[in-house]
Each structure stands twice: as C-alpha cells, then as structure tokens.
Structure 1
C-alpha cells in the first residue's frame, strides 16, 4: 500500500490524522495563553511565573509545538514516507503536554521537570532524523541539525543549576529558530509567490534558490553562532548587521510586491522582512552599547517568529484541509494583530520599561493567536470535506 493510500486508510480521530492539526492548535493556544499569564504574574508581583519561564515557554513550548506541526506534515512530502499519525502522533502530543504541565508545577523537583520537558524535543528530533535518513533526503539534513540545536538549547536551560548560562540557552534555541525561518522561509516564500503568479496567468519573478542564497544562509548561520557565544562583541554585531542586509537583499529579489493582492502570499514576505530587520537590530545593539539590547531580540521573537508562524499556520491549515488558498477577513485580522504586536513590543523596548505598551503588545499577540484558534479549530479538528478528499 502506498503512503498516500495508508494515509487515506486512517480511520481514527481527525485531529490525529496529520501533525499540523494538534500541534498548530495547541501551540497557538499556548502562545495566546502563556504570554498574558506571565505579564499578570510580573505586574501583580506574585512571582509565580518568572522571566525565565516566559522565555522558555515561548521558545521551547509554544514555538516547539508549531515547528513540530510543520515538520510532521512537511517531512513526509520531502521523503515520501508515511507520516506520524494516529497513536504515535497522540503520544508525541502527550509528551509536549506533559512538558507544559511540568513547567507549571511549582512543587515539582527540578530534575523531574527537566526530564519530562526535555523528552518532547529529543524524541521529536530523533523522529525527524530517522525519517530524513530513511528517505535519503540529504537536502534536509540542515533541518535535522537545527532541530537538534533547538533541543540542545532546551537541555542547557535545564542545566542552569549546574552552572550553564541561561542566556546562552535561550540564544541557542532562538538562533536555531531564526535559521529555520531563513532556510524554510527562504524556500516557501519565493515558491508560493511564483505559484500564485502562475495561477493569475502572470510571469513568475521570484528567483529560485541559488548559490547566492546558500552564501547568505552560511553567513547568517555564522553570525548567529557568534551571537550565541559572544553577543556583545563588535565583530558579532558587524556580522549580524551584514547578515540582516544580505537577507534583505534576498527578500527584495523575490519581488513580493507583485503578489500584494493576496495576503496569504505577501505575509510571508513581511515575516521574512522581520527576520532581516531583527538581525540588523541585534547587530546594532552589539556595536552601539547605548542601543536598547532587547530591540533586535523582540523583532525576532514577536516579529519574525510571530508573523511567520501565523503565516505558515493559516496557509497550511487551509491548504491541507481542502479550503481555498485565500485570506478571508479573519485571517487578515490575524496578520494585522501579529504585526501590531511586533510594532508595539519594539516601541516598548525602545522606551525602556513601558507597561502600557507592553500590555498592548501582549493583547495584540494573544489576539492574533487566539483568533487563529477560534477561526481554525473547526478545520483542524474535523475531517477534511468529502469534496476536497475526492479532488
């Protein structure tokens, strides 16, 4: 039986028929809930949820789930192998949920929390390595390496009591995510742009991947590696700035303005712009000590990560459930809120501690991910329409 036939033969709950279904839903819900939870704890002075918890749950909690949703869906297409569905997928989701519970229980021993929380990314990375190797899909070995780096960052977080630097832990995880955006976003953005232009009867213009792109990826990886090790070094700042400019040139080469009529396409370009901007701002903060140190980091987390993940989730959810690849008003509202959250967060960082701007940014962030959950949960939890299955 072929991979497609085995996938169609699945008769269990719809939510476990594809990896994107449970992980997009749970990752978005946790992104919407955990940010205001931390702000409430911070502002109220309760101290139940620390800054470290907030950073961890954004990178290794919500974002890890969304990455898992994308890769468990994309890797079978890359390798031609059977996707992780049914009971194995439910077990993987259970590992992620166990990690979130462990990180919320104040009385749980740190060693137990570390084991429970680390299990998800380690098991998930092993699955992706197995599938890519078994499918001899060597082109995507960098994805495996970046996922392993993300799991390593999570392990470093839990090794803080042993003396590991907490900031290095989250920088490691965030650098891996930035490179995933550069690598995978750099593939799908020009590809989807050209596909849309072809569907409109227009000549494609986005340039395919070339040696120029490979050099930019290598330069970006080198600058982010330097950022992990020495974030305040002038050489690191210069490297990040050049990497940001190079990624901006890469973005311009895709000519995203030609697809400005379709939000599902141009939002990918905007998400990639946030990546280029974040690298430049991170470089600026290293070169100029007086520059706000968190400006670039929040351009990366709230801007590039927030916008690009929502761009991918909305498109993939619609495409894989047989819906039209067009953005309705709710999807456009999601994009507006995501970008508003990024702009407000940068304004808050530029102004120093500004509780009103911070609260407004968190409200927009939670609104974007919460609206995704509300509007997309029906298509993520219900079977694909019969007409779409026959198409």
Structure 2
C-alpha cells in the first residue's frame, strides 16, 4: 500500500540555528509518526535571506543552506532525494524540478510553516495549509496595502495560527478577512531525553532582543521581546536564583544585563548544532519564557515553541501569560506570570517542589504538545484526512 505524502515548506537551511531547525523537524516527525512520507521544500523569497555561520553574515548564496539540509535531514528520516531548495533564480537544488513536480502532483497536502512562501508550482497540490507562528504580526502584514502577505496567503485554503484566542472579544489579533484555525506549537518527545537537573543549574532563556519595527494597528503600537524584557530586566537583583541568557539581535544591552546579574552565553554557540542546543536546555533548571509585547498585549494565547523543547526535556517552564492559560493549565510544570511579583512567586514555588514540577513538565509535553497528536488534530480540523 502506498503511503500518503505530505510536502512541508520550511526554513531549516536558510536559518541554520538549532531552535529553528527543530521547529520544522518536530512537525516532520509528527507527520512521519502519522504515516506520511515527507518531502521537504525551501523557497528563497528575497535577497540575502540566508544566514551563513561560516561567514557570520546573511547571504544570497544557497550553498551553505543546501549543504546543511543534506547533513541534517537524513538524521531525521528525510532521504537525500526527498528535499528541494528553490533559490531566488528559480533553480531547484536537491530533488530537481521534475521530481518536485511529480511529488506535488501526488501529494495529499502542503503544510507551510511560518514562511510566507509561494511559487506557482505549489498550485499543483490542491490542499495547502499555512501555519502562523507569529500572531498579530502576520495578520497586520496582511492588512498592509503595500505588502504581499495577503496575496501570498490567498494561495492557501487553510490558515492555522498560534493565536489560540483569535476571535475572542478581548483578543486584539485581527482576522484580516480570513478564517483561522487555532493550533499550538509541537514537539517530538522522542528527540528529547530526560536527565536529572543539578540544583545549581540556572534558569535559562533564549531571546532575540528585537525582530523589526513596531507594528501599528488600530491606533495601538505592538512591539517585540525587548519591550517586555525591560519589565523584568532586574530580576536577578530580587532573588538568589541563577539566570543564564542567550540573547541575540541588535540593540541588546549586554553590559547592563551583566551588571544586573544575568549570566550571558553566546547564542550562536548554544544554537550552532542541535546537540549543543539540547545540552544547553538539559543543563538548565527551567525555561524563562518572556514573550513578545505583541503576544502579551493582544491577549493572543500564544505559547512558545522553544518552551515545548524544555518541557520535553523534563524542564519546567516559567512563561509570561498571553492568555494561553485558557487551554493550558498553569501551576505544575508550567507556571504563568504577568508581573515581577508573579514571577518571583513562581520561582519560589518551582524551587520548593522542583522534582514534581519536572515530572509534570514532561507529562505536559506528551499530553499537550506531542507532534503526532497536535498535527493529527490539525489535519482533522481542516479535513485533510
């Protein structure tokens, strides 16, 4: 019997950081568990869209991206002939155009992960879903008259969003004229082994300080993580707990962070390989999940995909409340907070019964975020299976 085929469009090669890779690979793992053969595709959408870690620079040359895909994908069940990379000049590397067209003609569906990517060949597959991991930012871009986001997403019949509260009265994420299906991030627990945490391990965080210009929507300004982090920047001054932070992006106040007691690590080193990223998480006591201002202010219901990695590794999560407590219980394994007082209380509760929180963390990963379960529900919700 022929196995069904899913085409996943992602960004593993273009942004070869471990967290980015796992974002895609967890979805692939879920589809594989559900019995799908996966053909992986990347599309270069604009100049200098790819990061080359050797040169430490953005580049137009797809060579490193293609090499990285050839190294990583086979380790996660994608054979060398099962991925295609379409560069800006419409050259199709890896499995070439003839192979890709044949796959698209027979595929059950395309699932595009966060990438506002499109090429006309994708139309060969009639069922096409887009997964929005950046609620409010995506919808605001769709409403811009001078942008192409709405036109690109018009090619997708199904739109999922991590904005789990979209459509609720107090949620400020607009629908932008489309119907959205709420979903959540995924993790594949088989890739994460639970080890005992040292009592002296730090609570850690991985942050991109900024992600672009603030977004103006309906008279309000929505910002990035730096705007929320400023509210908690002196956290180490209020507790004896250690904190480790891998922070990237321009404008991060590294000197001030060190002076306030944050132990800074190089984000490129801990995310350079999947193994290094897993070791960093396993060497942590818990995750400190400070969210983008837009996710918090809009009451989006967003939950961090990075936090699901910590949960899968048996590490509890301290996560800023975005409204996700509507669907994810808080108090054991996941502890939500809205202000400094909440956060300090959550840290005290975490340390007072750490082993119970660690056990609950893995259980939450399996119950709420296991890739096969979440992806299976997505396919049922949109009628793809």
TM-score, with normalisation over the residues of structure 2? 0.29
Structure showing the higher helix proportion among its residues: 1
Question: Normalization by structure 1: what TM-score?
Answer: 0.29
